[in-house]
Every structure is written in structure tokens, then in C-alpha cells.
Amino acid sequence: MMSKDKKQPRPKAETPKGFRDYFGTEVTERAEMLQKIAGVYHHYGFDALESSAVETVEALGKFLPDVDRPNEGVFAWQEEDSDWVALRYDLTAPLARVYAQYRNDLPTPYRRYAMGPVWRNEKPGPGRFRQFYQCDADTVGAPSVAADAEICAMLSDTLETVGIPRGDYLVRINNRKVLNGVLECMGLSDDAQRDAVLRTIDKFDKVGEAGVRELLGKGRLDASGAYIDGVGLSDDQAAPVLAFLTSRGDTASATLANLRAAIGASMVGAEGVAELETMAELLDAGGYGADRIILDPSVVRGLGYYTGPVFEAELTFEIFDEKGRKRQFGSVSGGGRYDDLVKRFTGQSVPATGVSIGVDRLLAALREKGRIGSQSHGPVVVTVMDRDRMADYQAMVTELRTAGIRAEVYLGNPKNFGNQLKYADKRNSPVAIIEGGDEKTQGIIQIKDLILGAQMAENATLEEWKERPSQFTVPRGDMVAKVREILGGQR
């Protein structure tokens, strides 16, 4: 007897790990915010660029030629002609490729902004997804730090435009060259030691000054009780790093004086301090005071990647984390100067500086502040009392849409009127319109204020209920005017 074919199991309806779905309001809120950010970037003279979501792995700089698969971090696959390609990891590597490819046709400097999803093949965690939106602006081909200062000013303007008020954020600026000067005057013996010092500096925001001092020396016990070996420097050798990390003064000139002391006789360090000084002067001239932008040498994230100025926007207001503890919201944007990126393609060094805004984090911050996320209304629903009169209902919905009001006809099974109101409720509709046969004959319609109805059902007294009806009877010709009036009262 032949065995029966095994039935194919049904696919599971679930989102892949590290990804998520976005519905209605979330998509609209993001689109509106991206539009505001693009508006500021455009206002500053940047041009839009939309490049492919897929790049060759070599272009992304994520290639290990001696393994079967490119290094982790990217979603990559091999094409038939043996080329490896991958989904873009950020928006900066594609820009370097675009500039190298079209440099003879593009203006120099080339100023572009780009927004869109990027993909990282990393371990997902709470609030960490493998696909997320970035929103970047970069200037390629401008060696002057005036380009970096402009981007910091633009970042400040962008945050205020999307709804983060002054006093709730700070743009902090540091410079990789100053750190190089500090490393130079420490007299480190080899590259391995330099790398160890850089890794330790990167932990500054987690372990603080005392923690970095221990890690540069003999080592320290971490929170879990494990002992972490230190770099093994003497106190004298470690002193310049600590002086650098803690050199922020009350004013820009005090910070610059402290940094000059930290770099000693280093030429590259002096160059970095001079760049910070120029940026401070330019920002001051543009009216960007210390309430918006500051020099802060404790900004160390990304110092491995950047070659000059580095900056981040930090939101300074407090929120409660999952465990109910107060903490600062933290960074929503980072950027800096990366003069070596285009060189990979062209062999010549091309100066470049840019900023990237983490869109999802910024949206989360605006929700925390109550700037967005107020219940958004669904469409006005025209109910169907008589399925033979669909043309009448269609005429009503067209009239509402022509007047600029979001509206739809109920397209489910109209048999049960209660289900139509349940549908309107689920859509968070502000208003339902009802026209049965009797109303049609009399030339009137019923308009139901669903928002007020829901509020009153929750907590109104009988008197209030009578005083403020949530259902109105109006002549058919007054439909648009009455709906407008109700919508105006609900805002």
C-alpha cells in the first residue's frame, strides 16, 4: 500500500527574530518626522540621495576573503557570478561608493542627505532591531571644520524642529586628533597597548573616571564580581588620558586650556585643539550658545572610526526605564569627520563629515515627552443602512473627502448595525454618519460623535448626557459643516 503524502505543515505567522511590524499611527508619525528632518537638511542646502539598499560586500568594507561567508554584521548572499552582495549596514558606506562612482559629475563639495532602513545581522535585544531607520546628512570634499560646525548647528535646529525643546538636549563635540595627541604624549610602547587604551577610554561612560583609572592600571572588579585585567600603565602614564577625559570646564575657553595641558607638546594634539577652538568660534558667531552645543572631551563613542571632530546629540531629560529607575534618555544622534572612507575606492584622501540620526530612538523620545502619540483619529465612517443605496453613501463619502475630511464607507457585511459601530470604534473613528430610508425621505442624516459618546459613556451624569447629546440630526446639505464642527470640538 502506498504511503500517503505527508501534509505540508502550515507556516507560522510570526515576525522573524529581530524584526517588527509597524502599523498605522507609527508609520505616519515616522513619515511626518522624516519630512520635518528632511526639511531642515534641505533648508541648509543639502540634496536628497536615494541609493540602492544592496551594495557589494567590498563596497561596504565588510569582506573577509579567506572565509566562505563575509564577516558577520551584514545580511549577505552570493550572486551567481560569485560576487557577494549585502543589505546596507549604514548610509555612509553607500555615500562613499556613490561619490567615488560619480565624482566627475557631482559638485565639490557634495552635500547630500539620505533616509531609509538599514540592516544589521546582529544579536537582537530589547529595543534593538535588525532593521531600523537612519537619517543622515554629509558633506564630502570640504576640508574645513566649518563643515563640521555647520552640521552641529543643523543637528541642533533639527532637534528643535521635530519637538525637542532647548534645555532638553545638548550637542557635544570632541576631536579624535586631541586624543591622538594624548596617546602620543603617553609614550606607549606598541600598537597593542594603544588599542587597549582606546578600548578602555570607550568604557568611560559606563565605569567613570575611577573605573578608567583602575582599568588603565592593574585592573578592577566588575559588577558581576569578575576581575578584569588592566592595561598595566603607571599612574604617570595614565594621567594624560584622565586629564583629557575630565577636561571639560565651565566655558569653552576653560575646556580648551585644560586640553592644551593634557596634550603636552604633541603637534597633532595642538591641531585638534585648534579645530575645536575654530568650531566654538563659528558656532558662537551663529548664535549657538552653551545651552545648545558644548565642547565635551568625554564624548568617546566612535573615536575609533572618526579622524577629526566627533559629535553626538544627547537628550538630557529623565525617563523611567523598564525597572522603574530614573535615567537620562541618552544619545539619539552621532557623527563626525571621516576623511579616509572615500580613499578606499579612489586611493586619494577625500575629506568628509556627516551626522546620523537614530529615527526610532528620536520617535521614542518624542513619545516620552508627549509630543506625539496622542490618539490619532481614524476616518469618518459612513454606515450602510440599506445595501441597495450604496450609491448614496458613496456620494456622501466623496463629498467628505472633497472637503478634506478623511472618510470611508463601511464595506463589511452591513446586516448588523452594531458591528458597523464596533468597526468604527476599532478604527478610532471620530464620527459615524447614519442615513436610513426614513431619513432619506425627510432629507436629513444622523451624525454620531463617537469620541464624545465614548467619553460620556465612561463618566457622564444623566444631566450632562442630556445637555450634550452625542448624536445630531441635521439636514443632508449641512453634513460637511456639522462634521467639521464636531471634529473641531474633539481636538
Beta-carbon contacts of residue 250 (< 8 Å; ≥ 6 apart) = none
Confidence of residue 125 (pLDDT cuts 50, 70, 90): confident
**pLDDT tens digits along 420-456:** 989 998 999 999 999 999 999 999 999 999 887 666 6
The yes-or-no verdict on residue 393 having pLDDT over 90 is yes
Model confidence band, residue 187 (pLDDT cutoffs 50, 70, 90): confident
Lowest model confidence (mean pLDDT) among 335-339, 351-355, 408-412, 468-472? 468-472
Instruction: List, in sequence order, every residue forming a beta bridge with 352; answer none if it has no partner.
Output: 140
How confident is residue 368, by pLDDT bands cut at 50, 70 and 90? confident
Domain spans of the chain, in order of start:
24-186+247-368, 380-490
**Cα separations in angstroms, 51 against 95, 103, 484:** 8, 15, 42
Whether residue 114 is predicted with pLDDT greater than 80 in this model: the reply is yes
Q: In whole angstroms, give the CA distance from residue 382 to residue 409.
A: 5
- Residue 67 confidence (pLDDT): 46
| Residue 325 CB-density burial (10 A; 0-12 exposed, 13-18 middle, 19+ buried) | exposed
**All three cell numbers of 249:** 570646564
pLDDT at 69 over 50: no
pLDDT value, residue 235: 82
pLDDT tops 90 at residue 147: yes
Look at 12-16, 243-247, 389-393 and tell me which has the smallest mean pLDDT.
243-247
| Count of CB atoms situated within 10 Å of the CB of 81 | 5
pLDDT for res 122: 84
Across the range 295-310, mean pLDDT stands at: 86
pLDDT digits (tens, 9 = 90+) for 88-108: 999 999 999 999 999 999 999
Question: Range with the lowest mean pLDDT among 166-175, 320-329, 394-403, 407-416?
Answer: 320-329
- Per-residue pLDDT at 447: 94
Cβ contact 33:162 at 8 Å = yes
Does residue 462 register a pLDDT over 60? no
Residue 296 has pLDDT above 80, yes or no: yes
Pair 171, 312: CB distance under 8 Å: yes
Q: What is the CATH number of domain 24-186+247-368?
A: 3.30.930.10
What are the CA-CA distances from residue 471 to residues 36, 380, 475 (Å)? 38, 14, 14
**pLDDT recorded at residue 275:** 97
pLDDT of residue 91: 94
Confidence of residue 70 (pLDDT cuts 50, 70, 90): very low
Distances (CA, A) of 195 to 3, 27, 108, 237, 311: 64, 42, 35, 15, 21
pLDDT at 289 over 60: yes
Min mean pLDDT across 35-44, 140-149, 239-248 is at 239-248
The predicted model scores a pTM of: 0.83
**Which single residue is written with the C-alpha cell 594634539?**
269
How does pLDDT run across 231-286, given as a tens digit for each residue? Answer: 778 888 888 888 888 889 889 999 999 898 888 889 999 999 999 999 999 999 99
Q: Which CATH number fits domain 380-490: 3.40.50.2300, 3.40.50.800, 3.40.250.10, 3.40.640.10?
A: 3.40.50.800
pLDDT of residue 456: 60
Q: Which pLDDT score, from 0 to 100, does residue 185 have? A: 83
pLDDT at 471 over 80: yes
The 10s digit of each residue's pLDDT in 310-333 is 999 999 887 776 677 777 788 899
Q: Give the model's pLDDT for residue 455.
A: 64
Please state, rounded to an integer, the average pLDDT across all residues of the chain: 87
